[in-house]
Amino acid sequence: MWQLNVMSFVRAIRAVLPTMRGRGSGVIVNVSSTAAKRPSTGMPNYSVTKAAVLSLSRLVADLYAKDGIRCNAVTPGPTATSAWLGEGGLADQQARALWQDARGSTRLRCRRPGRSGAWPSRTRSPR
């Protein structure tokens, strides 16, 4: 997983940097995941590798800004796959975490399928 989810980014960046530096400009956009910021206990390796992509992106941005090169990472949210929707998947894990966290001023609302979506949402009461 490390080779695909991290080292492929490193190799691609190494391949384009000489040309971008010679040109004096360039843009690199890496695709990470929201799992990088909120790790999944069911997919720890995936979460860690996506966090590494965020760190790599920031490092490249800091190192090569002086050469006119920008580097950013996007973090798309859930995609309707078995990893998310399957039994015990990320949706189940998130739902359990949200229910356990629903105390005090935090309320949990679950939308009914077929209405305005099927994803849980958290709202905070104003204080």
Phi and psi angles of residue 106, each rounded to the nearest 5 degrees, phi first: -95, 125
Please give the Cα distance from 110 to 120 (Å, whole number): 4
Q: Has 46 been annotated as catalytic?
A: yes
Query: Which of these is catalytic: 6, 46, 47, 64?
Result: 46
What is the signed CA dihedral for 45, 2, 15, 77, rounded to 10 degrees? -20
Nearest to 97 by CA among 72, 74, 120, 70: 120
Catalytic residues, which ones?
46
